């Protein structure tokens, strides 16, 4: 067979895998947004079937043959990188029995639905048996994948290649110390924003209209995506031309929807601007969850929570907001949306305390996977860490251990990517600021140069590059948490006048 024919067959094989992946993604979107309660059981079986098919194709003898025959015989950089990614998936996942993976997919899908019920009813016991199974699955997967120093490294690698427990345990304590120091200065400051002036009834439909305007301003393409409502906001790419966002509305606190939607919009922009040449390959996605989070947090915190952003958009906001906001001047508004106050819910956390939420989850799930704690102990251990890190104790499990969907989805090793992404975002913003008058652009409302710079520097590459390679190429240095520390210190020193 001609090499060119073999390459085409390989591309067609990858398309088949991607067709199943897209169908599975659509199922996950539907289950988190639209599915009737009684439909969960049978839909879980479909998800398990599709997940098993993907696993079979990724670990087949045919895949092995394509890798062996094509890898040494191509100088096409995209094809070579595609083969390398497929090879890593093959080597990792061929060790996992198909039946085990199918059982995991079924359990995972059921677990997400049960988690929603458990959260609504504040019933950890309902979710507990599913969580135990998912922890066991992840331990077993990690043992199949292998690791050098810590079993949790095998799970970290899935979401953030190049990052290990050793590195996190070096970086996180330093970051925690800096955050706690700034938090103490904020809490002892005499300056106290008054959140009551913005926590007024704000009808959902008016929030929808306003947030859609902001997404358009960012450059999110609604002809290639949509915005829906869900319990826990997320973005899910079916393909480059169908990148779906979800958000959650609180009619008594508009900040949830506004900043949550912009956050998911950052994910959406990433997926919509991947090089079309990567379509239907495993490269047509983000380099890692940390790089993905860097984009969502870049837009949410460094753009949308900035003063110049609201200099431009406050008048637009007032067109949709309740009349009482007419009595709130821009300065008051800016200070209040940036209020620092330890809170129970991660996705509602302020910029300063947000990474502390991530560290709590990282420490708990690392301990779970290392069998240092058990699932039954999670609720009280969660509350203890919340009190230790943030000085508050959740009154219910709904506001504590049940608040996030990630464990229900079996995504152990995921949480550190949020804090890593925040540090990446600060580093990327610092670099961008040297190339562009960023604040001036934000103030004019012309965000196109920023979007284009991100697309050119990061988005277009998809998974062509490793995450730390992208960071180094863009910023000319490896991970440096100092930029985040400096950003937060400078911002809140100005707001709280310490």
Structure tokens at 282: 């495993």
Q: Show the DSSP H helices in 122-234 as ranges.
A: 124-145, 151-159, 165-187, 204-218
> Residue 176 CB: number of other CB atoms within 10 A?
15
CA distance 71 to 244: 34
Q: Which of the 8 DSSP states describes residue 345?
A: -
User: Which run of H or of E encompasses 228?
Assistant: strand 225-229
The residue count for the chain: 498
Q: At what angle do helices 77-93 and 61-70 cross, to 10 degrees?
A: 140
Supply the DSSP string of 407-460, one letter for each residue: TTTT-TT-THHHHHHHHHHHHHHHHHHHHS-HHHHHHHT--HHHHHHHHHHTGG
Q: Which of 52, 112, 160, 264 is catalytic?
A: 264
Strand segments (E) across 97-152: none
Q: Is 263 annotated as a binding residue?
A: yes
Residue 298, CB-side half-sphere exposure with 13 Å CA sphere = 32
Structure tokens at 472: 């180094």
Does residue 148 carry a catalytic annotation?
no
At residue 256, the 3 state secondary structure works out as helix
CA distance 164 to 148: 10
Q: Show the DSSP H helices in 338-377 as ranges.
A: 354-369
At residue 276, the 3 state secondary structure works out as helix
Q: Which of the 8 DSSP states describes residue 155?
A: H
> Residue 277 CB: number of other CB atoms within 10 A?
12
CA distance 67 to 90: 9
Q: Is 293 annotated as a binding residue?
A: yes
Structure tokens at 395: 């009154």
Of 19, 85, 26, 97, the residue nearest 56 (C-alpha):
97
Block residue for tokens 């290639």: 224
SS3 track for 15-50: HHHHHHHHHHHHHHHHHHHCCCHHHHHHHHHHHHHH
Q: Is 112 annotated as a binding residue?
A: no
By annotation, the residues acting in catalysis are: 264
Annotated binding site for Zn(2+): 263, 267, 293
Annotated binding site: 263, 267, 293
């Amino acid at each position: 067979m001609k090499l060119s024919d073999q390459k085409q067959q390989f591309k067609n094989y990858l398309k088949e895998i991607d067709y199943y992946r897209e169908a599975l993604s659509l199922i996950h979107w539907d289950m988190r947004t639209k599915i009737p309660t009684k439909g969960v059981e049978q839909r879980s079986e479909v998800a398990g079937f599709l997940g098993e098919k993907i696993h079979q194709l990724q670990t087949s003898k045919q895949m092995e043959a394509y890798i062996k025959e094509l890898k040494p015989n191509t100088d096409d950089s995209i094809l070579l990188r595609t083969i390398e990614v497929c090879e890593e998936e093959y080597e990792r996942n061929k060790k996992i029995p198909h039946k085990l993976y199918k059982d995991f997919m079924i359990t995972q899908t059921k677990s997400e639905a049960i988690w929603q019920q458990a959260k609504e009813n504040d019933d950890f016991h309902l979710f507990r048996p599913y969580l135990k199974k998912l922890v066991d699955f992840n331990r077993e997967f990690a043992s199949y994948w292998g690791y050098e120093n810590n079993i949790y490294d095998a799970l970290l690698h899935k979401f953030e290649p190049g990052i290990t427990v050793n590195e996190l345990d070096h970086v996180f304590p330093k970051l925690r110390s800096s955050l706690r120091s700034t938090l103490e200065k904020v809490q002892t400051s005499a300056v106290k924003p008054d959140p009551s002036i913005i926590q007024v009834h704000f009808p959902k439909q008016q929030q929808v209209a306003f947030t859609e305007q902001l997404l358009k301003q960012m450059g999110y393409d609604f002809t290639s995506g949509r915005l829906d409502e869900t319990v826990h906001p997320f973005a899910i790419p079916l393909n480059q031309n169908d990148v779906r966002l979800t958000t959650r509305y609180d009619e008594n606190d508009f900040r949830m929807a506004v900043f949550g939607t912009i956050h998911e919009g950052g994910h959406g922009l990433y997926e919509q601007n991947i090089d079309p040449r990567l379509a239907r390959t495993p490269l047509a996605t983000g380099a890692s969850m940390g790089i993905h989070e860097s984009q969502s947090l870049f837009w949410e915190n460094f753009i949308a929570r900035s003063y110049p952003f609201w200099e431009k958009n406050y008048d637009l906001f007032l067109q949709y907001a309740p009349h009482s906001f007419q009595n709130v001047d821009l300065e008051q508004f800016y200070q209040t949306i940036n209020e620092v106050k330890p809170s129970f819910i991660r996705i509602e956390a302020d910029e300063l305390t947000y990474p502390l939420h991530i560290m709590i989850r990282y420490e708990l799930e690392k301990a779970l996977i290392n069998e240092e704690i058990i699932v039954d102990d999670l609720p009280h251990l969660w509350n203890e860490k919340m009190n230790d890190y943030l000085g508050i104790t959740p009154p219910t499990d709904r506001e504590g251990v049940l608040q996030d969907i990630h464990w229900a989805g079996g995504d152990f090793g995921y949480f550190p990517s949020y804090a890593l992404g925040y540090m990446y975002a600060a580093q990327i913003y610092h670099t961008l600021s040297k190339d562009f008058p960023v604040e001036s652009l934000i103030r004019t409302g012309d965000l196109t140069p920023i979007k284009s710079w991100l697309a050119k520097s990061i988005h277009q590459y998809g998974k062509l590059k490793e995450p730390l390679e992208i960071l180094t190429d863009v910023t000319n240095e490896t991970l440096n948490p100092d930029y985040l520390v400096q950003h937060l210190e400078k911002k809140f020193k100005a707001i709280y006048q310490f």
